[in-house]
Structure 1
Amino acid sequence: MEWFGHSNQDFDFDMFSASHYTILVICVLVNTFIFANRKKLSDERWRKAELVTALSLILIEITNHLWMYKHAVWKLGRSMPLELCNIGLLLAIGLLLTRKKIYFELLFFIALLGATQAIITPALTYDFPHFRFFHFFYAHLMIVWVTLYFLWAKGYYPTFSSVIKVVLFINLLLPAILFINKAADGNYWFLRHKPKSPSFMDLLGPYPWYILSLESLLVFLSLIVWLCLRIWLKGDKRTSFSES
């Protein structure tokens, strides 16, 4: 069975398996590395690494779409880059390329509240060493690591207005996602039903109430994360490199 093949017969993913635990350990170790080396990583010489990382994210995402097309599984209702983590990936690329704070403000909450949850409870079919395994975790891990890099090394941090911006951003996209779901028989943002694999959504009630729970949770957790970060940074003299 080739690692880039179609059939998942030999690659069935099991949550909290050895491969999943390995990813979780890598996530924690790299998070710790970024924090411990935040002063060194603030050096401008890392600019090339930012651009290379952005290019790698673009290439792996293009490769993923080519894989879906090659194996005839690309569908309007599930393959467009419309999931929140897909949007987070695009924001991460934009942040790496431009360093504009607006990308960080939107990415910060999507990364910590969305990508982190996806890493812990992945909606994934293919296990190691399949390409889709690498694509899923590389993309989601990079969303988190890029966010923490700009937070800890580059001095970007969200404000109260950032919470308002991300809530408005998501709610402005919501009607379009609902329309696409209906037109393409899709389930982007899990607005038509919960993921088949276990996830935290199982704790949020039945359809459609879990959608309202998600909305409330977005606002509540965003405010909590912002408040905790504000307390942590109290007295910190760091300023962001870009305010626009």
Structure 2
Amino acid sequence: MEWFGKSHKSFNFEMFSASHLVTLAIFLLISCAIFRYRKMLNGDGWRRFEIGAAISLILNEILNHGWMMMNGVWKLGRSLPLELCNIGLLLCILLLLTRKKIIFELLFFIAVLGATQAIVTPALTYDFPHFRFIHFFYAHMMVVWVALYFLCARKYYPTFHSVIKQIVFINLLLPAILLINNQSDGNYWFLRHKPKTPSFFDILGPYPWYIFTLESLLVILSLIVWFILKKWEKSHEERTGLN
């Protein structure tokens, strides 16, 4: 049971190690497969898969909190599901269960921009095959895959208003996250300091300026992604019309 324990002497994670590169390859392969076989994935028969995927994510999170409690590392300031990717995961589960377009709009840019960045530059201690490694990548990759599934197969396209909704949603949560950080001595959303491990935050400037840089990037990149998808949707509609 060493793979499920607290000790990580045999599981020190290294970015772009063999296990990380294999995981990235799996992530890209399945992401491409969702796009390639999007027409096969839009039938009603996939409803069971959606419910099953939601249940698997819920169980994954229960196991994670159980691991933290069992190993005495669960703390109010770092263990609540308040990180942006955690919120993305909750939205992902709700989207799978309800298929509500508004949830997709709140999830999509968090998935494509936030969870993808976390997969490429993870703030992670444990390497494969430790449970924490498997939990981290399964949760983050599923968030992206579900967003791509609803985009490509279910044709839930984000709009300009989706960008606005996401920005408003995040900024409405911001004061609450700041308050919780202050009361729990936490660092949710990395609002008090950067991750201790190398990450994308390292190129965004010193504290607190990287926070403003990050939000500016979020707005700019969200608009770029929306514009690209708008062109793709228009091109798809034109091709469909010709056929």
Residue correspondence of structure 1 range 55-204 to structure 2 within 5 A: 55-204=55-204
Amino acid at match of 2:168: L
Is 1:35 matched up with 2:24? no
Amino acid at match of 1:84: L
Distance 1:28 1:219 in 2: 25
Residue correspondence of structure 1 range 3-42 to structure 2 within 5 A: 3-42=3-42
> Following TM superposition, by how much is the alpha carbon of 1:235 offset from its aligned partner in structure 2, in angstroms?
4.3
Distance 2:111 2:193 in 1: 22
RMSD, aligned CA: 1.0
TM-score, normalised with respect to structure 2: 0.96
- How many residues are paired up? 238
Identity between Structure 1 and Structure 2 (%):
70
Q: Which residue of 2 aligns with 1:52?
A: 52
Amino acid at match of 1:213: T
Distance 1:87 1:141 in 2: 14
Distance 2:79 2:208 in 1: 23
> Following TM superposition, by how much is the alpha carbon of 1:237 offset from its aligned partner in structure 2, in angstroms?
4.0
Structure 1, gaps ≥5 residues long: 239-244
- In structure 1, the residue corresponding to 2:186 is in which secondary structure? coil
Amino acid at match of 1:20: H
- In structure 2, the residue corresponding to 1:234 is in which secondary structure? helix
Distance 2:45 2:25 in 1: 28
Deviation sequence 1:18-63 (CA, Å, 0-9, x none)? 0000000000100111111100000110100000000000000011
Deviation sequence 1:194-225 (CA, Å, 0-9, x none)? 11111111111110111110111111111111
- In structure 2, the residue corresponding to 1:233 is in which secondary structure? helix
Amino acid at match of 2:198: P
Deviation sequence 1:154-210 (CA, Å, 0-9, x none)? 110100000000000000000000001111000000000011111111111110111
Amino acid at match of 2:236: D
Structure 2, gaps ≥5 residues long: 239-243
Would you tell me which structure has more helix in proportion to its own residues?
2
Deviation sequence 1:123-182 (CA, Å, 0-9, x none)? 000000000000000000000000000000011010000000000000000000000111
Distance 1:43 1:62 in 2: 30
Amino acid at match of 1:227: F
Distance 1:237 1:179 in 2: 46
Distance 2:162 2:25 in 1: 30
TM-score, normalised with respect to structure 1: 0.96
- Which stretches of structure 1, 4 residues or longer, exceed 2 Å deviation after superposition? 235-238
